[in-house]
Every structure is written in structure tokens, then in C-alpha cells.
Structure 1
Amino acid sequence: MNGQDAIAIVGVGCKFPGADGLEEFWRVLKNGEDHIQDIPKERFNVDAFFDSNPDAPGRTYVRKAGIVSGISQWDNRFFGIGENEAKTMDPQQQIVLECVYRAMEDGGFTKSDFNQSDTGVYLGVMNGEYEAVAGHDLKQLTNYSVTGLSRSIISARVAYFLNLHGPAITLDTACSSSLVAIHTAEQAIKSGKKSFSAFTYL
């Protein structure tokens, strides 16, 4: 690969079950750790939905999952988001903001380095369980529900927080979402545009 075609990854921020960052994730892989666990009650009451019959409608036959930690410890004020707005946000939006900030730190950048730049955000996001569940509870809907529940807003959250003037694109191509986001960001870079690519698959 010559210099004109090379793409550099200058910062990484990530969260995985059992790993809060890239070094911890490497430890999990290196040690062959298994972080599949019983779904804790604080996430949701599994017993209320469990059925050993995998074909039972409206039920699940799964009791275990890979759990990302620290969801309830997210600092919304740090990202300039008020309490009422934070209550309606899909946790995916929270994780993306946190991981993008960590990627900046990992790459040695500050918010001011990106301020008003033509930097783009390309995110691959597939799942929308939070939107599906929260959207049915009409009593809980507020003025912030549209931006808090929509997956299309996730990339815009990053662009707004960093005051970016480039494209903010959320891509959903099912299981290939992250790869397509990477490819799209790469094409943007090669077209001559300055592009900050952040991707997630949740």
C-alpha cells in the first residue's frame, strides 16, 4: 500500500463485555475469557419473559448475555446534556459519545482540535430495541423522545458535541453496518475530505 492509499487509525475508544477499553479487550482475547453471564435483574426481569420453548410468541428462551458495564454511570453533564433529555436517550447514544471522546484522548486530540472542522462522522448501528420498547409507552414520551430514540441521531450527537461541519451519517446494513461505515469513511478520506471515522455495532 503506497502513501496515497494508506489510512491511519489514530485513536480508538471501545467498550465490550468484560472490557472497558482496548487494552482490557486485548486481555480478554489473550486469556480466552468468557464474559457471558446471567442477565442481571437490574437490566430486566428475565423471568417475566422467559419460556423454554424457543417458538413461544413474545418470549425469550435466553437467560444469559454479554453485558457492557457502566451504563448507569454515564455523565450526561460532561456532554452538555440536561437531566430531562438524558432520561430519554438510547444508551447507544451514550456509549458512542463516550467512546468517541476516548478515541480522541487515545489519539492525543482535544475538542478544540475538531471545532468547526469539516470532519465527518460515520457510524454503523443496527439494533433498536430501546427505541422499540420506549416508543410504545406514550406516557413517557417527551419533547426529547425523537432525538433520544432515533438511531439516525447518533452520529449527529457526536457532530453536535464536537461542533463538526462535515457529514454525520448513521448506516444500518444489518450485521455489516460497522464494515460499511468504515468503508464509507475510507472513501470520504480518499476523496480528499478530512474525515474522523467513529463506528459502533451494538
Structure 2
Amino acid sequence: MAPSPQESVVEQPQQTIPRGLTGEECVITGMSGLFPMSDSVLEFKENLYNGVDMVTNENIRWDIDHPEIPKHFGMITGVDRFDAQFFKVHYKQALIMDPMSRKLLEHAYTAIFDAGVNPLELRGKKIGVFIGAAFSESEKLVIYESIQRNGFGITGCNKAMYANRISYWLDSTGPSYALDVACSSSMACLEHAYKSISSGLCEAAIVGGCNLCMHPNVALNMRKYGFLCLDGKTKCFDKHGDGSVRADAISILFLQKAKDAKRIYSEVYHAKSSYCKNMQGQFLPMRQPQEVQEFLEDFYKETDVSPRDVEYIEANASGK
């Protein structure tokens, strides 16, 4: 059975260019995803608006009692389900294919459909695919901890295939690769997609991020390093912060130029990254105030936007 489209695509959007746009702008036209206790973006939104705690202490993936492995996770369901025939994946490959790759395929399809586009229309077109991922915990299970004899584990759990498999299924051209910039991997992908569309390298793009907590040793090592809290409560920007909570997520955006869009969720106005050495610690987000100020000044100059016009800022924090 093919993945079901989201509720928002029951009525197909019509192609129009909103006032104030020339048609060359990069815009978000489709989205899809899986999140803890949320089987769609719409359900995730409702859970956030209603203040639902989506962290659970009922671990359904492993049964290991270790005092340093946190009991709390944000977990999605259905990671074992995949319509291999629909995506033309051989059943031997599907058996040991990374669950993240499966879910990325499903939700790439749903995000494209959410934009009012038939994926068959993208064949042969310059469609970029940019996927952010830091860990493949299934790779550890399939390649290093078991003996599988058909060789499909190499392609099934290779992070490069997260993007390449989507491009192959779409039969599209354009840049296609995975990025690992740790916590900012998905944002780096959005920047690459924005610049690729703006420069004409591709005419549309799939941008995604993924994480699945599949191996207890990853959580154990993160806890030993001081990344994770034990009470299941991430306390960002708080003096009591003692770490964050691990969670699953599959998130996909479909980007097009405004002239090609049938629906516009948002315009991607600009994208810029800063890569600086942090002398206070390899994984600490703090930097010298002067470096932050210079980066923001350059950013606002490039966008021709005043900081006074910014009404909302979303921040990523480690919980410490």
C-alpha cells in the first residue's frame, strides 16, 4: 500500500503567484514527516499547540537495564513497515534497508504530493535531494553486529543512499547527497537547496532530516559524554539544564520557485551558515560575542532586512 497523502492535499492547490513575488523566489510548497506520537506534520502541530509531552519512558526497541542509559526517548512507531513494491525495492534489500531510508522515501513522496505535484512529472528534471543525518544506528546493527550474506547491507545502510535512493526512485537529475553537520545537518541542507535553486543548479529540491534511536550504545556514549539528561526533561537556556532527550524524527520539505508553486507555505528568503572553531569545547555552542555580531551583521546586510523587522527567532540548544 502506498503512503497516504496528508489531509492538506485533499483539495489540489491551484498554481498562482502571490502578490509581491516575482516568481523567481525559492518557496516551500510541500512538507511531510513523522515525529514522536505524531504520524504527520498536522498531528505534530496539534501536539505542540496543546502542550503535549511527546517523550515516553516506554522503550520499545531494546530491553537493556543499564543505569547510565536514559529511560526517556521520543519514539515514532511503524519503523518496521515499508511498501517495498511501490518504491521498486527488492525484498532482500528491503529486509536490511535502514529504516530511515525507508521513511525518507515515503515522506519524500508525501511532501511532493502535498505540493500538488505528481512525482511522475519530475522524471528527467533537475531535482536536488539534500538529506541531513548524523548517525546510522542500523548500520551498526546490520554491518558490524551481524553476518548478512547478500551484501545489500552496504547500500541499505549507507548514508549517501538516503538521498541517492530518492533521486533514483524519482528518476531525476540534480545534486543528490547527504550532509552530516551534527545538530545543524538539516539547516545546512536547506541552505544548499536554497543556493542550488537560486543559482539554477536545480529547479526544485527535496530537503530532509532524519534520526532514529536504534542502538542503546549510542545513548550510553552520549550520556557518558554529558549530552543527555536522565529525567526526560530538556531544560534549554536554564541554569538547571543537564542535557537533552534523544528522539526520532523524519522530516521532509519540497522547495520550488514561486512561479512553479501551487501552494506556498513559506518563502526561503535567505540562508547562511557560520563555521567557527570553539575554543571552549568541541560541542559547546558558545562563541566569542564579536564573532556572533559579525556574522549577524553580514547576514542582515545580505538580506537587506532590519533586525527590527524580525518578530520570531527559533533557536537550537543542547539543553545545557
TM-score by length of 1: 0.88
Q: Deviations over 1:51-79 (max 9, x none)?
A: 22x3xxxxx2x122111112122211111
In 1, are the aligned partners of 2:58 and 2:71 still within 8 Å (CA)?
Answer: yes
Amino acid at match of 2:62: F
Q: Write the distance in 2 (CA, Å) between the matches of 1:27 and 1:117.
A: 35
Is 1:11 aligned with 2:30?
A: yes
Query: Partner residue of 1:23?
Result: 42
Q: Write the distance in 1 (CA, Å) between the matches of 2:79 and 2:73.
A: 15
Query: Partner residue of 1:44?
Result: 62
Q: Write the distance in 2 (CA, Å) between the matches of 1:90 and 1:39.
A: 23
Structure 1 residue ranges without an equivalent (≥5):
55-59
Aligned equivalent of 1:74, options 76, 79, 82: 82
Shift of 1:2: 6.3
Query: Judging changes above 3 Å, is the alpha-carbon distance between structure 1 residues 109 and 5 closer, same or farther for their aligned structure 2 residues?
Result: closer
Shift of 1:138: 4.5
Query: Partner residue of 2:118?
Result: 110
What's the RMSD between the two structures over aligned residues? 1.7
Q: Write the distance in 2 (CA, Å) between the matches of 1:83 and 1:168.
A: 24
Query: Judging changes above 3 Å, is the alpha-carbon distance between structure 1 residues 92 and 141 closer, same or farther for their aligned structure 2 residues?
Result: farther
Greater strand content: 2
Q: Deviations over 1:172-201 (max 9, x none)?
A: 111110000000000001102313122113
Shift of 1:125: 1.1
Query: Partner residue of 2:204?
Result: 195
Percent of aligned positions that are identical: 27
Q: Write the distance in 1 (CA, Å) between the matches of 2:76 and 2:170.
A: 25
Structure with larger RCO (C-alpha < 8 A, sep 6+): 2
SS of aligned partner of 1:72: coil
SS of aligned partner of 1:13: strand
Amino acid at match of 2:27: A
Greater helix content: 1
SS of aligned partner of 2:80: helix
How many residues align structurally?
191
In 2, are the aligned partners of 1:177 and 1:201 still within 8 Å (CA)?
Answer: no
Query: Partner residue of 1:164?
Result: 172
TM-score by length of 2: 0.57
Amino acid at match of 2:40: G
